[in-house]
Amino acid sequence: MSDVLLESEPSMDNRSPRHGVEQLSMQQALNLALDEVLAENSKALIFGEDCGRLGGVFRVTDGLRAKYGNGRVFDTPLAESGILGMAVGLAMAGFHPIPEVQFDGFAYPAINQIVCQIARMNYRSRGILPMPITLRVPSFGGIRAPEHHGESLEALFAHVPGLKVASPSNPHEAYHLLKYAATRPDPVIFMEPKSRYWQKGEVHFDSADATSPPDGSSPGGGSPTGAKVMREGRHLTLVAWGAMVARCLQVAGLAAEDGIDIEVLDLRWLKPIDEAALEASVRKTRRAVVVHEAPLTSGLGAEVAQLITRSCFDTLKAPVERVTGFDVPYPSGDLEDEYIPNIDRILFGIQRVLEYRRG
C-alpha cells in the first residue's frame, strides 16, 4: 500500500473557484466536486472497485486517475470490508479517504468496519483519532438492477452514533453537499441516488450553499448542513430526500392543477436532521407527508414524523402520513415500479391527509 501512495506526487492544481451557473448532470457535478477536492487537499484519496482505470461503474470518478495518478485514485480488490478497513487505517495516518462502495447492497459485508470502527474510532480514542472519511454509496432503486444493486440503507446508517448521512437530490445539491462532506472531520455516508446520475440541472457555484456559515441555523437552507425548501406551498408539506424529491416536485405540480398548494422540503442531511426547517415548514402548512423508498417499518420516515409531531403537535390538522416502499426485500428490476412510491401513491397519501377529520 505504501508503494501505491508514493507512486505519484500529489496534484498541486490550485485553480480559482468556479463562478456562475453551469448545466451539468449529477454524475458530472459529483465528478467536478471530487476533482476540486483532490486539487485542494493533497491528503484526499479516492479508491474502490473500478474507481481508477474505469472511472467507476457510473463514471463518477472518470478521468481522475489519469489526472492525479494511481497514488491518489486507485482500484481495490472486490472486498468491501477490506476497502473500508483500509479507509480506517488511512484516516488514522492523516489522510482523508473518499472510498466508494460500488452499489448500496455491497455495503453489507463492510458493516463491521462502518459501525465498529469508522463510527466509533473518534469516540474510542477520545478525539485522538478522528475519522475524516467520506463514504460514497450509489443508493436506492430506479435503474432496474438485480438483487443487492438497489437498496435504501439510510435508516441503518442514521441509527449509528458517530456517522453523518447526506443524500443529494439534483446536480446542484450533489456538487455542494459532496464538497462540504469531503471537508468534514467526521465520517459522512454520502448516498447518491443512482436513478438521478444522468439527470441534468443547473449548478450555481456562487449560491448560498457554498458561502453561508455551515451552522444549520437558517430554516429553508442557505447552509449545506440544513434541509432546503425546493417549492413553496401553503396546504401541505412533502418531505423527501434523494430521488424522491424530484418525484414529489412532479406531484406538487399536478396537485397545483387542482388548486392544492404543496411545499416540498428536501431533507438533504438524514443525520443530523434539520428539525428547525421541518418545524418551520409544517407550522406553515399544518399537514405533512413523508416519502421514501425504504420499507415502512422503522424507516427514517418514522423519525421524521416523530420530530414533526413533537414540534408541531399544537398546529397539526392531521397525523403525519408516510408513503414508502413495502416491508419486503428490495425487489429485482421488473418489480421496481410496484415497490417505489409512484405519483398515484403519493397523491393518495396527500388526499388522506387533506380529508382527515378528527372524531
pLDDT of the residue at 210: 52
Q: What contacts 357, CB < 8 A, 6 or more positions away?
A: none
* Residue among 137, 202, 135, 209 nearest 170 (CA): 202
Measure Cα distances from 185 to 73, 96, 97, 227 in Å.
20, 9, 11, 21
At residue 49, does pLDDT exceed 80? Answer: yes
At residue 163, does pLDDT exceed 70? Answer: yes
- Structural domains in the chain, sorted by start: 2-14+23-211 (3.40.50.970), 228-354 (3.40.50.920)
For 140-157, the pLDDT digits (tens) are 988 787 677 788 999 999
At residue 268, does pLDDT exceed 70? Answer: yes
At residue 19, does pLDDT exceed 50? Answer: yes
- Does the global pTM surpass 0.85? yes
pLDDT of the residue at 87: 97
Angle at 23 between CA 44 and CA 217, to 5 degrees: 60
pLDDT band at 212 (very low <50, low <70, confident <90, very high): very low
Q: What contacts 158, CB < 8 A, 6 or more positions away?
A: 165, 270, 271, 300, 303
For 303-335, the pLDDT digits (tens) are 999 999 999 999 999 999 999 999 999 888 788
What is the average pLDDT score of the chain? 89
At residue 121, does pLDDT exceed 80? Answer: yes
Report, as an integer, the average pLDDT of 74-91.
95
Q: Residue written as cell 481508477?
A: 52
pLDDT of the residue at 20: 85
pLDDT of the residue at 33: 96
Query: CA 237, CA 244: separation in Å to the nearest integer?
Result: 14
pLDDT of the residue at 214: 35
DSSP 337: H
Dihedrals φ, ψ of 66, to 5°?
A: -65, -35
Please tell me the least confidently modeled range out of 10-24, 208-222, 278-292: 208-222
End-to-end CA, the chain: 67
Percent of the chain, pLDDT > 70? 90
Please tell me the least confidently modeled range out of 9-13, 121-125, 262-266: 9-13
Q: What contacts 356, CB < 8 A, 6 or more positions away?
A: 317, 318, 319
pLDDT of the residue at 334: 81
pLDDT of the residue at 223: 60
Percent of the chain, pLDDT > 90? 79
Residue 230 is placed in which grid cell? Answer: 425546493
pLDDT of the residue at 4: 35
pLDDT band at 18 (very low <50, low <70, confident <90, very high): confident
Query: CA 320, CA 12: separation in Å to the nearest integer?
Result: 51
Report, as an integer, the average pLDDT of 165-182.
96
Please tell me the least confidently modeled range out of 76-80, 188-192, 209-213, 352-356: 209-213
For 56-72, the pLDDT digits (tens) are 899 999 999 999 999 99
pLDDT of the residue at 149: 79
Query: CA 136, CA 46: separation in Å to the nearest integer?
Result: 10
Report, as an integer, the average pLDDT of 231-245.
97
Dihedrals φ, ψ of 262, to 5°?
A: -100, 135
Q: Which sequence positions are flagged as catalytic?
A: 149
3-state secondary structure of 246: helix
* Sheet with 321-325, edge to edge strand ranges: 228-231, 262-266, 236-240, 288-295, 321-325
Please tell me the least confidently modeled range out of 4-13, 73-82, 142-151: 4-13
